[in-house]
Protein backbone atom coordinates (compact mmCIF):
# COMPACT_ATOMS: atom_id res chain seq x y z
CA UNK A 1 0.00 0.00 0.00
CA UNK A 2 1.32 3.40 -0.96
CA UNK A 3 1.70 5.92 1.85
CA UNK A 4 -0.33 8.59 0.06
CA UNK A 5 -2.81 7.56 -2.62
CA UNK A 6 -4.58 9.65 -5.22
CA UNK A 7 -6.62 8.72 -8.25
CA UNK A 8 -4.44 9.58 -11.24
CA UNK A 9 -7.37 10.75 -13.33
CA UNK A 10 -7.86 12.55 -15.55
CA UNK A 11 -10.80 14.09 -13.75
CA UNK A 12 -12.80 16.09 -16.28
CA UNK A 13 -15.28 18.72 -15.14
CA UNK A 14 -17.11 21.42 -17.11
CA UNK A 15 -16.22 25.06 -16.57
CA UNK A 16 -18.07 26.49 -13.58
CA UNK A 17 -18.55 23.12 -11.88
CA UNK A 18 -17.09 21.91 -8.60
CA UNK A 19 -14.02 19.70 -8.89
CA UNK A 20 -13.49 17.25 -6.03
CA UNK A 21 -10.05 15.76 -5.51
CA UNK A 22 -9.39 13.08 -2.93
CA UNK A 23 -6.36 11.72 -1.13
CA UNK A 24 -5.93 8.94 1.43
CA UNK A 25 -2.90 8.34 3.63
CA UNK A 26 -1.67 5.43 5.68
CA UNK A 27 0.35 7.01 8.53
CA UNK A 28 -1.98 7.76 11.44
CA UNK A 29 0.73 9.98 12.91
CA UNK A 30 0.35 12.45 10.04
CA UNK A 31 -0.23 15.97 11.28
CA UNK A 32 0.17 18.31 8.31
CA UNK A 33 -1.61 18.08 4.99
CA UNK A 34 -0.95 20.08 1.86
CA UNK A 35 -2.33 20.49 -1.62
CA UNK A 36 -0.07 21.58 -4.44
CA UNK A 37 -0.89 22.42 -8.04
CA UNK A 38 1.61 21.58 -10.75
CA UNK A 39 1.33 22.74 -14.32
CA UNK A 40 3.12 20.72 -16.97
CA UNK A 41 6.83 21.53 -16.97
CA UNK A 42 6.58 23.67 -13.83
CA UNK A 43 7.31 23.12 -10.17
CA UNK A 44 4.59 22.45 -7.55
CA UNK A 45 2.81 25.51 -6.19
CA UNK A 46 1.23 25.45 -2.73
CA UNK A 47 -2.53 25.98 -2.76
CA UNK A 48 -3.74 24.99 0.69
CA UNK A 49 -2.57 23.48 3.94
CA UNK A 50 -4.64 22.08 6.78
CA UNK A 51 -3.72 20.77 10.20
CA UNK A 52 -7.06 20.25 11.97
CA UNK A 53 -10.10 18.11 11.23
CA UNK A 54 -12.82 19.89 9.32
CA UNK A 55 -12.91 22.37 6.48
CA UNK A 56 -10.63 25.22 5.57
CA UNK A 57 -11.66 27.67 2.87
CA UNK A 58 -9.51 30.02 0.81
CA UNK A 59 -11.25 31.71 -2.07
CA UNK A 60 -12.53 29.08 -4.51
CA UNK A 61 -10.63 26.32 -2.69
CA UNK A 62 -11.76 24.26 0.29
CA UNK A 63 -9.61 21.64 1.96
CA UNK A 64 -11.34 18.99 4.05
CA UNK A 65 -9.58 16.75 6.56
CA UNK A 66 -10.89 13.65 8.29
CA UNK A 67 -8.14 12.09 10.40
CA UNK A 68 -10.31 9.22 11.64
CA UNK A 69 -10.91 8.10 8.07
CA UNK A 70 -7.43 9.16 6.96
CA UNK A 71 -8.46 11.21 3.99
CA UNK A 72 -8.05 14.75 2.85
CA UNK A 73 -9.86 16.35 -0.05
CA UNK A 74 -9.73 19.51 -2.10
CA UNK A 75 -12.80 21.16 -3.58
CA UNK A 76 -12.45 23.73 -6.33
CA UNK A 77 -15.58 25.79 -6.86
CA UNK A 78 -16.40 27.56 -10.13
CA UNK A 79 -13.67 25.60 -11.92
CA UNK A 80 -11.85 27.49 -14.68
CA UNK A 81 -9.83 26.16 -17.63
CA UNK A 82 -6.77 27.70 -15.92
CA UNK A 83 -7.30 25.23 -13.06
CA UNK A 84 -6.35 22.39 -15.42
CA UNK A 85 -3.23 20.92 -13.87
CA UNK A 86 -2.01 18.03 -11.73
CA UNK A 87 -2.93 18.33 -8.06
CA UNK A 88 -0.56 16.78 -5.57
CA UNK A 89 -1.49 15.80 -2.05
CA UNK A 90 1.34 15.85 0.51
CA UNK A 91 1.39 14.59 4.07
CA UNK A 92 3.89 15.04 6.88
CA UNK A 93 4.16 13.41 10.30
CA UNK A 94 5.86 16.36 11.94
CA UNK A 95 9.32 15.55 10.68
CA UNK A 96 9.53 17.95 7.73
CA UNK A 97 9.60 14.90 5.45
CA UNK A 98 6.72 15.43 3.06
CA UNK A 99 5.26 12.34 1.40
CA UNK A 100 3.56 13.07 -1.89
CA UNK A 101 0.89 11.22 -3.79
CA UNK A 102 1.40 10.74 -7.50
CA UNK A 103 -1.19 13.40 -8.26
CA UNK A 104 -4.59 13.73 -9.92
CA UNK A 105 -4.74 15.33 -13.34
CA UNK A 106 -7.66 17.75 -13.58
CA UNK A 107 -9.09 18.91 -16.89
CA UNK A 108 -11.61 21.74 -16.87
CA UNK A 109 -13.55 21.79 -20.11
CA UNK A 110 -14.51 25.18 -21.54
CA UNK B 1 10.44 38.64 -1.14
CA UNK B 2 12.45 36.37 -3.41
CA UNK B 3 11.35 32.78 -3.76
CA UNK B 4 13.40 29.61 -3.77
CA UNK B 5 16.19 29.79 -6.32
CA UNK B 6 17.71 26.71 -7.91
CA UNK B 7 20.70 26.64 -10.22
CA UNK B 8 21.32 25.55 -12.84
CA UNK B 9 17.93 25.08 -14.49
CA UNK B 10 19.14 22.47 -16.95
CA UNK B 11 22.05 20.07 -17.01
CA UNK B 12 23.22 17.37 -19.36
CA UNK B 13 25.78 14.95 -17.98
CA UNK B 14 27.36 11.71 -19.06
CA UNK B 15 27.07 8.42 -17.17
CA UNK B 16 29.71 8.13 -14.49
CA UNK B 17 30.12 11.86 -14.00
CA UNK B 18 29.08 13.73 -10.90
CA UNK B 19 26.88 16.78 -10.55
CA UNK B 20 26.23 19.46 -7.95
CA UNK B 21 22.94 21.32 -7.73
CA UNK B 22 22.37 24.47 -5.70
CA UNK B 23 19.38 25.82 -3.81
CA UNK B 24 18.90 29.16 -2.07
CA UNK B 25 15.84 29.13 0.20
CA UNK B 26 13.40 31.93 0.89
CA UNK B 27 14.97 34.52 3.18
CA UNK B 28 14.44 33.47 6.79
CA UNK B 29 13.69 29.85 5.94
CA UNK B 30 16.14 27.48 7.56
CA UNK B 31 14.88 24.10 6.36
CA UNK B 32 15.74 22.88 2.87
CA UNK B 33 14.43 19.64 1.42
CA UNK B 34 15.32 17.94 -1.83
CA UNK B 35 13.06 15.86 -4.02
CA UNK B 36 13.43 13.85 -7.20
CA UNK B 37 10.52 13.89 -9.61
CA UNK B 38 10.15 11.37 -12.41
CA UNK B 39 7.09 10.47 -14.50
CA UNK B 40 7.01 6.95 -13.10
CA UNK B 41 7.71 7.56 -9.42
CA UNK B 42 6.34 11.03 -8.81
CA UNK B 43 7.94 13.19 -6.12
CA UNK B 44 10.37 11.23 -3.99
CA UNK B 45 11.94 12.68 -0.83
CA UNK B 46 15.74 12.72 -0.85
CA UNK B 47 16.74 14.52 2.36
CA UNK B 48 16.14 17.55 4.54
CA UNK B 49 18.67 19.91 6.07
CA UNK B 50 18.20 22.28 8.98
CA UNK B 51 20.90 24.24 10.76
CA UNK B 52 23.56 22.67 8.55
CA UNK B 53 22.58 19.15 9.68
CA UNK B 54 20.78 16.44 7.76
CA UNK B 55 17.58 15.81 9.75
CA UNK B 56 15.72 13.39 7.49
CA UNK B 57 16.74 11.03 4.73
CA UNK B 58 14.78 9.18 2.07
CA UNK B 59 15.49 5.82 0.47
CA UNK B 60 18.15 6.79 -2.03
CA UNK B 61 21.63 5.30 -2.44
CA UNK B 62 24.69 6.93 -0.94
CA UNK B 63 25.55 8.43 -4.33
CA UNK B 64 23.08 11.14 -3.42
CA UNK B 65 24.40 13.50 -0.79
CA UNK B 66 23.89 17.04 0.31
CA UNK B 67 24.98 19.76 2.62
CA UNK B 68 23.77 23.04 3.99
CA UNK B 69 25.76 26.18 4.66
CA UNK B 70 25.46 28.66 7.51
CA UNK B 71 23.36 30.98 5.31
CA UNK B 72 20.89 28.09 4.77
CA UNK B 73 21.85 27.63 1.13
CA UNK B 74 22.04 23.98 0.22
CA UNK B 75 23.77 21.85 -2.36
CA UNK B 76 22.97 18.37 -3.55
CA UNK B 77 25.57 16.13 -5.13
CA UNK B 78 25.08 13.01 -7.19
CA UNK B 79 28.15 10.96 -7.93
CA UNK B 80 28.66 8.24 -10.53
CA UNK B 81 25.60 9.27 -12.50
CA UNK B 82 23.34 6.61 -13.96
CA UNK B 83 20.79 6.93 -16.75
CA UNK B 84 18.03 6.44 -14.18
CA UNK B 85 19.10 9.60 -12.38
CA UNK B 86 17.58 11.67 -15.17
CA UNK B 87 14.83 13.62 -13.43
CA UNK B 88 13.62 16.98 -12.23
CA UNK B 89 15.31 17.78 -8.93
CA UNK B 90 13.29 20.08 -6.74
CA UNK B 91 14.30 21.97 -3.67
CA UNK B 92 11.78 23.20 -1.11
CA UNK B 93 12.24 25.59 1.78
CA UNK B 94 10.28 25.79 5.02
CA UNK B 95 10.32 28.14 7.98
CA UNK B 96 10.59 25.20 10.41
CA UNK B 97 9.47 27.22 13.41
CA UNK B 98 7.22 24.49 14.77
CA UNK B 99 9.14 21.34 15.56
CA UNK B 100 6.12 19.09 16.02
CA UNK B 101 4.07 20.18 13.04
CA UNK B 102 5.57 20.50 9.58
CA UNK B 103 4.77 23.89 8.14
CA UNK B 104 4.26 24.53 4.46
CA UNK B 105 7.09 24.03 1.97
CA UNK B 106 7.71 26.22 -1.06
CA UNK B 107 9.38 24.83 -4.15
CA UNK B 108 11.98 26.25 -6.47
CA UNK B 109 11.73 25.93 -10.25
CA UNK B 110 13.86 22.81 -10.23
CA UNK B 111 16.91 21.56 -12.06
CA UNK B 112 16.24 19.23 -14.94
CA UNK B 113 19.07 16.73 -15.13
CA UNK B 114 19.54 14.57 -18.18
CA UNK B 115 22.08 11.76 -18.05
CA UNK B 116 23.24 10.42 -21.41
Judged against a pLDDT cut of 70, whether residue A88 lies above it is answered with yes
Taking CB atoms and an 8 Å limit, are A45 and B107 in contact across chains?
A: yes
pLDDT at A21: 97
Q: What is the pLDDT of residues B76-104, one digit of tens each?
A: 999 999 999 999 999 999 987 666 667 78
Q: What is the pLDDT of residues B20-32, one digit of tens each?
A: 999 999 999 999 9
Choose among A41, A39, A50: nearest CA to A92: A50
Share of chain A above pLDDT 90, in %: 83
The distance of A71 to chain B (nearest Cα, Å) reads 18
Average pLDDT value for chain B? 93
Q: Which long-range contacts (CB under 8 A, 24 or more apart) does A84-87 make?
A: A84/A108, A85/A37, A85/A38, A85/A39, A85/A40, A86/A37, A86/A38, A86/A39, A86/A40, A87/A6, A87/A21, A87/A35, A87/A36, A87/A37, A87/A38, A87/A47
Chain A residues inside the 8 Å CB shell of B104: 34, 46, 49
Taking CB atoms and an 8 Å limit, are B101 and A43 in contact across chains?
A: no
Taking CB atoms and an 8 Å limit, are A96 and B100 in contact across chains?
A: no
Judged against a pLDDT cut of 90, whether residue A68 lies above it is answered with yes
Closest CB from A51, A98, A101 relative to B105 = A98
Dmax of chain B from CA atoms? 42
Amino acid sequence: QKEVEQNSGPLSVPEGAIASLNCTYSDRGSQSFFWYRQYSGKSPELIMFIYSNGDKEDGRFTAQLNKASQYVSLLIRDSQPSDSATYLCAVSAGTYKYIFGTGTRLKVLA
Amino acid sequence: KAGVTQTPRYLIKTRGQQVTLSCSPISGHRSVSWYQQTPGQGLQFLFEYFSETQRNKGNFPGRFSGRQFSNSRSEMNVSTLELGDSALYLCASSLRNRDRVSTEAFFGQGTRLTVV
